[in-house]
């Protein structure tokens, strides 16, 4: 049966999956949600025999109902190929009684590769289905990770160009090197003289410029975004939870139908929402443990029913979770409001105007699937250190936040259900913090690449290809612009 997508802020005019992917965000500012959550139509035993790609097809076909079987299989084949350093795509590693689902084996060694490897193919397929003839121009502002993952995903994808703006002095040396060495004849990387907010504001202004859009259309171009609220990023994230369950079953760690817990280090609430969708599709999941760092808006929300972003923004060693507005939470709010766009719109308006909203008692009751907690900076470092000392397994800072919170959950609830922890980045992505935590020394005087060697020595884990390559890769992008020159820069790049 066909699934249509409507906005979390209005019920009118639902669109097909391909249109929702093309649009990204609804015109009323809401997020696209499926009109129902489909049930898995293969047994868990069948899933236990499937490869990652087969699982991906079985999950995505239920949501992207206007794609043909061939179209979806082509997208999946192009996404989950040798860009990943293991055929398993998302391996499970057991350490200290939990199963780490390693989502960092893609091109940029962090979990955003899981969705950004397939989004470009979903997007170009969707464009063809909807008779879009324009070339699609992806514009992204990045504080480091998303930009590189988007560049890697879109590089040399026919019919697209990608332009990434990053704060010239606001990303780590490894992150910058990753971006400015990006190959692909359709990739453009621009450093701006400003901070991440300036880059983001500039991109939003370009997106909102109707005159520019019309002019571009005349020249055969249209903008799109690779934003994490795109349904084409959310749905592919459901896959790895189903896959992980299948692996646990195949390897005899669980019996068919036995429930597992899932712990997710959370920022924008995309990854954990995908796990929640998996649960509603029939995957036996007990609790969803939502782990935050010191920016603990979500922890407070689960405890009090109040979402309040009015607080100091803390810079932590898990920067991809340094977020005060978790945009994907809106999809959960809509659902616990009884799929009610009016109630959701009222709360989002309160958030936009006063930075806070309260949910009703009735809505709170529907949150019992979730448990929220957070890890302080010291606890995060200690978790990396202790796990390494006990097992030799080295995890990154984001994953450590999750591991720490999982420990708190167990202590608080005595629930010993088998648990999968989403491991969202390779320790090599956040080398400095990881080495400092493991060795309990500070290596301030060492360069980032020296630290890579240090980490290799400590952990015995091979330096990932993604890091090895950029040591010697030539710099291919040197464009820099002032923060008020972004629009001109885009036009220059497009030659219009
Ligand atoms: C983006 C990111 C997260 C947070 O994921 P959300 O889907 O935004 O909640 C966690 N860890 C890493 C390494 C990330 O890059």
- Pick the catalytic residue: 112, 129, 279, 429? 112
Give the pLDDT confidence score for residue 50 in this predicted structure. 98
Would you say the CB of residue 397 lies under 6 angstroms from ligand 1?
no
Give the pLDDT confidence score for residue 239 in this predicted structure. 98
Q: Ligand 1 pocket check: which of 101, 119, 321 to mutate, most ligand atoms within 8 Å of Cβ?
A: 321
pLDDT band per the 50, 70, 90 thresholds, residue 201 = confident
Q: Which residue has the tokens 């019309």?
A: 214
Instruction: State how far the Cα of 143 lies from the Cα of 425, in Å rounded to an integer.
Output: 16
CB atoms within 10 A of CB 246: 23
Residue 223: phi and psi, rounded to 5, are -85, 150
Would you say the CB of residue 149 lies under 6 angstroms from ligand 1?
no
Identify which of 186, 120, 196 has the alpha carbon closest to the alpha carbon of residue 165: 196
Instruction: State how far the Cα of 164 lies from the Cα of 180, in Å rounded to an integer.
Output: 10
- Give Cα 104 to chain centroid, integer Å: 11
Give the pLDDT confidence score for residue 455 in this predicted structure. 94
Instruction: State how far the Cα of 172 lies from the Cα of 191, in Å rounded to an integer.
Output: 13
Centroid of ligand 1 to alpha carbon of 416 (angstroms) = 25
Atom of ligand 1 nearest to the CA of 269: 9
pLDDT tens-digit map of 212-259 = 999 999 999 999 888 888 999 999 999 999 999 999 999 999 999 999
Give the pLDDT confidence score for residue 11 in this predicted structure. 87
Give, for 78, the enclosing helix (H) or strand (E): helix 69-79
Average pLDDT over residues 48-52: 98
Domains plus CATH for the chain? 92-109+232-470 (3.40.50.1100)
Residue 153 has pLDDT above 90, yes or no: yes
Would you say the CB of residue 112 lies under 6 angstroms from ligand 1?
yes
pLDDT band per the 50, 70, 90 thresholds, residue 200 = confident
Atom of ligand 1 nearest to the CA of 237: 7
> Which segment of 145-159, 325-339, 399-413, 435-449 scores lowest on mean pLDDT?
435-449
The 3-state DSSP class for residue 466 equals: helix
Instruction: State how far the Cα of 278 lies from the Cα of 242, in Å rounded to an integer.
Output: 7
Q: Ligand 1 pocket check: which of 146, 229, 240, 268 to mutate, most ligand atoms within 8 Å of Cβ?
A: 268
Instruction: State how far the Cα of 76 lies from the Cα of 72, in Å rounded to an integer.
Output: 6
Centroid of ligand 1 to alpha carbon of 271 (angstroms) = 7
Instruction: State how far the Cα of 72 lies from the Cα of 361, in Å rounded to an integer.
Output: 41
Buried b (16+ CB within 10 A) or exposed e, 12-25: eebbbbbbbbbbbb
Instruction: State how far the Cα of 384 lies from the Cα of 397, in Å rounded to an integer.
Output: 7
Q: Which residue has the tokens 């696209």?
A: 32
Instruction: State how far the Cα of 446 lies from the Cα of 82, in Å rounded to an integer.
Output: 33
Would you say the CB of residue 424 lies under 6 angstroms from ligand 1?
yes
Would you say the CB of residue 233 lies under 6 angstroms from ligand 1?
no
Give the pLDDT confidence score for residue 172 in this predicted structure. 78
Identify which of 496, 406, 488 has the alpha carbon closest to the alpha carbon of residue 205: 488
Give the pLDDT confidence score for residue 480 in this predicted structure. 96
The 3-state DSSP class for residue 122 equals: helix
Identify which of 372, 376, 377, 402 has the alpha carbon closest to the alpha carbon of residue 387: 402
pLDDT above 70 covers a percentage of the chain that reads 100
Q: What is the mean pLDDT of the chain?
A: 95
Q: Which residues contact 268 (CB under 8 A, 6 or more apart)?
A: 228, 229, 323, 326, 327, 328
Residue 420 has pLDDT above 90, yes or no: yes
Average pLDDT over residues 308-327: 91
> Which segment of 265-274, 346-355, 411-420, 437-446 scores lowest on mean pLDDT?
437-446
Residue 197 has pLDDT above 90, yes or no: no
CB atoms within 10 A of CB 186: 18
pLDDT tens-digit map of 361-403 = 999 999 999 999 999 999 999 999 999 999 999 999 999 999 9
pLDDT tens-digit map of 102-138 = 999 999 999 999 999 999 999 999 999 999 999 999 9
pLDDT band per the 50, 70, 90 thresholds, residue 415 = very high
Enumerate the H helices of 166-319 as residue ranges: 173-180, 196-208, 210-219, 231-234, 236-250, 270-280, 297-304
Give the pLDDT confidence score for residue 228 in this predicted structure. 84
Residue 144 has pLDDT above 80, yes or no: no
pLDDT band per the 50, 70, 90 thresholds, residue 155 = very high
Active-site annotation holds for 53: no
Centroid of ligand 1 to alpha carbon of 394 (angstroms) = 18
Residue 29 has pLDDT above 90, yes or no: no
Q: Supply 181's token pair.
A: 């060495």
Atom of ligand 1 nearest to the CA of 112: 15
Instruction: Answer with the residue of higher pLDDT: 443 or 308.
Output: 308
Atom of ligand 1 nearest to the CA of 274: 7
């Amino acid at each position: 049966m066909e699934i249509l997508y409507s906005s979390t802020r209005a019920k009118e005019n639902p669109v097909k999956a391909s249109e929702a992917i093309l649009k990204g965000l609804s015109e009323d500012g809401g997020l696209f949600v499926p009109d129902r959550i489909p049930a898995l139509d293969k047994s868990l035993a069948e899933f236990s025999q499937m490869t990652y790609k087969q699982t991906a097809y079985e999950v995505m076909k239920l949501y992207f109902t206007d794609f043909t079987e061939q179209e979806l299989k082509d997208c999946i084949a192009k996404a989950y190929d040798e860009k990943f350093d293991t055929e398993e795509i998302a391996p499970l590693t057991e350490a200290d009684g939990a199963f780490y689902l390693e989502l960092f084996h893609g091109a940029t060694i962090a979990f955003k590769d899981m969705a950004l490897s397939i989004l470009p193919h979903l997007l170009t397929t969707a464009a063809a289905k909807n008779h879009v003839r324009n070339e699609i121009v992806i514009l992204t502002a990045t504080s480091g990770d998303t930009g590189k993952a988007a560049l890697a995903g879109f590089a040399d994808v026919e019919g697209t160009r990608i332009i990434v703006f990053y704060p010239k002095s606001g990303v780590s040396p490894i992150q910058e090197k990753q971006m400015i060495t990006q190959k692909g004849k359709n990739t453009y990387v621009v450093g701006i003289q400003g901070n991440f907010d300036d880059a983001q504001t500039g991109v939003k202004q370009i997106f909102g410029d109707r005159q520019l859009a019309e002019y571009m259309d005349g020249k055969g171009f249209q903008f799109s975004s690779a934003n994490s609220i795109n349904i084409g990023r959310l749905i592919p994230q459901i896959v790895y939870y189903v896959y992980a369950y299948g692996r646990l079953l195949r390897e005899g760690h669980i019996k068919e139908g036995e429930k597992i817990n899932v712990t997710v280090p959370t920022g924008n609430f995309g990854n954990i929402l995908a796990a929640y969708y998996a649960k509603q599709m029939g995957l036996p999941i007990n609790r969803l443990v939502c782990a935050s760092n010191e920016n603990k808006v979500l922890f407070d929300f689960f405890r009090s029913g109040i979402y309040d972003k009015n607080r100091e923004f803390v810079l932590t060693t898990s920067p991809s979770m340094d977020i005060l507005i978790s945009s994907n939470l809106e999809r959960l709010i809509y659902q616990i409001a009884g799929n009610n766009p009016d109630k959701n719109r009222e709360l989002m308006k309160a958030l936009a105007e006063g930075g806070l909203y309260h949910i009703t008692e009735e809505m709170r009751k529907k949150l019992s699937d979730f448990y929220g907690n957070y890890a302080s900076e010291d606890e995060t470092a200690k978790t990396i250190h202790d796990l390494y000392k006990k097992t030799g397994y080295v995890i990154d800072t984001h994953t450590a936040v999750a591991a720490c919170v999982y420990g708190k959950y167990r202590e608080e609830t005595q629930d010993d259900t088998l648990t999968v922890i989403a491991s969202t980045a390779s320790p090599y992505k956040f080398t400095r913090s990881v080495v400092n935590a493991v060795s309990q020394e500070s290596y301030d005087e060492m360069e980032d690449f020296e630290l890579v060697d240090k980490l290799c020595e400590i952990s015995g884990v091979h330096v990932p290809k993604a890091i090895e390559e950029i040591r010697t890769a030539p710099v291919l992008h040197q464009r820099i612009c002032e923060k008020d020159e972004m629009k001109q820069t885009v036009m220059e790049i497009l030659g219009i």
